[in-house]
Amino acid sequence: MTTAATADEAAFVGIGELPSGRYPDRAFMGGLVDVAVAAVRDAGLAMTDIDTILLIPCLHSGADQADLVFSRVVEELGLNGRAKSNVMFHSGGSTSDNTVRSAISLINSGHAHNVLILQAEKWGSAPLIEMIDMLTANGIPREWEKASGLSFNAVGALIQRRYMAASGSTPQDMASVCVALREWARLNPNAMYKDKTLSVEQVLGSRMVSDPLHAFECPMMADGAVGLVLTSAREASKAQDAWVRVAGSGGCVSHYSIGQEADLAVLGWPTAAAPAYEQAGWGPGDADIAEVYDSYAAVLTIALEGLGLAPAGEAGRMFAAGDFSPGGTLPVNTNGGLLSAGHTGVGGGTALLAEAVRQLLGRAGPDRQIPDAQRAVCGGSGGTYMDSQVLLLERVTK
């Protein structure tokens, strides 16, 4: 059953974002407050209109994570006594998708009027080995896989090797994914690598980390912060000419341990995508843009194929042909993605979601705004790519 737009349904109306990269002097809580204010102003609302805060977890610090859970943001924003609820969801990189599902349900049901989603991460400033060990210790069965020496890059490598074998994609094809994302990042003033060009030769000339992944094919940990505001379509129409609705959603948790994934070149995407398109009443051919989790090249190509945005096995070659680059047939990860805008932990998916909303609102700026963008396919994944989450977004005008 498809869903038609209604006055009660949830609408994205505002975005705030800080540049991604290494900002050791930028305070965690200060970043959250900055994007909160920016998003609420962008929405045309007052901070006191916000009644519900949904938080995206941070991974860099247990103390900062505890501050989020214990409602410090409410107090920092002066919403003591006004906020109904301050709560966090967590599914790793797909958290933003699950948080949006919660936000729209709260608004559609009348439990919330104006929801502020907030995310901040300081991965880029945190000690690298501590973050590698933290990632290595989590999402891997301690009793059965940890003793193998599995690293997070090795998880990406196992997926990329299988994808290359199944699709016949070459190292050049896979490197071209990173190059395409860099071309998008060059158009995004908030991207970590906005000032650095990248070529296929540079990628393949960088050191081998975990075969077949070269150093420049591994994501760089970054600091970042994003805020998003949702309200009802009724409220949105008072202050805005256009807003963004969620037309369809679907998900699939396909494994916990990487050793138990039935097909590393498929994951959960086909299962997640089918009900989302059915609910939306449109298909992959109707999408104007795609913003899909991309912590490694094959994580993105597999998702694009499972989402029906590329024929099976062809996404890598389509990247090499420039189909998903600026000027190509389908703009993909127009902010530069995790690989070139920066891997902000759980926030990488949040940044892609924010970019989809920004494009559909027509607020992406002169360099990278996709003309007349009406429909976006958003895909998120988390942990060891244990889940595949799909949100289909549509622009709505008054």
Specify the residue, 72 or 162, whose C-beta has the smaller distance to other proteins.
162
What CA–CA distance (Å, rounded) separates 306 from 302? 6
Residues in the chain: 398
| Residue 208 is a binding residue for other proteins (CB under 8 A) | yes
Q: How far is the CB of 55 from other proteins (least distance, A)?
A: 29
Residue choice 37, 131, 204, 209 for contact with other proteins (CB under 8 A) = 209
| Residue 147 is a binding residue for other proteins (CB under 8 A) | yes
What are the E-state strand segments in 147-255? 208-210, 213-214, 223-232, 242-253
| Residue 22 is a binding residue for other proteins (CB under 8 A) | no
What CA–CA distance (Å, rounded) separates 8 from 383? 34
Residue 10 forms beta bridges with which residues?
232
Q: How far is the CB of 129 from other proteins (least distance, A)?
A: 7
Q: How far is the CB of 289 from other proteins (least distance, A)?
A: 31
Alpha carbon distance, N-terminus to C-terminus of the chain: 24
What CA–CA distance (Å, rounded) separates 198 from 191? 14
Q: How far is the CB of 217 from other proteins (least distance, A)?
A: 12
Question: What part of residues 248-267 is at the interface with other proteins (CB under 8 A)?
Answer: 257-262, 264
| Residue 151 is a binding residue for other proteins (CB under 8 A) | yes
Asked whether the beta carbons of 59 and 121 are under 8 A apart, the reply is yes
Q: How far is the CB of 393 from other proteins (least distance, A)?
A: 33
Stretch that binds other proteins, among 62-70, 142-150, 269-277, 345-353 (CB under 8 A): 142-150
| Residue 171 is a binding residue for other proteins (CB under 8 A) | no
Crossing angle (nearest 10°) for helices 297-306 and 269-280: 50
Helix (H, G, I), strand (E, B), or coil: what is residue 48? helix
Residue choice 148, 205, 311, 367 for contact with other proteins (CB under 8 A) = 148
CA-CA-CA-CA torsion sign (338, 341, 342, 344): negative
Residue choice 32, 120, 213, 287 for contact with other proteins (CB under 8 A) = 213
Closest CA to 351 of 255, 225, 260: 225
Task: Give the type of residue at 115.
Answer: V
Residue choice 141, 189, 205, 311 for contact with other proteins (CB under 8 A) = 141
**Which residues contribute to the site for other proteins (CB under 8 A)?**
129, 132-133, 136, 141-145, 147-151, 153-154, 157-159, 161-162, 165-166, 207-213, 215, 218, 257-262, 264
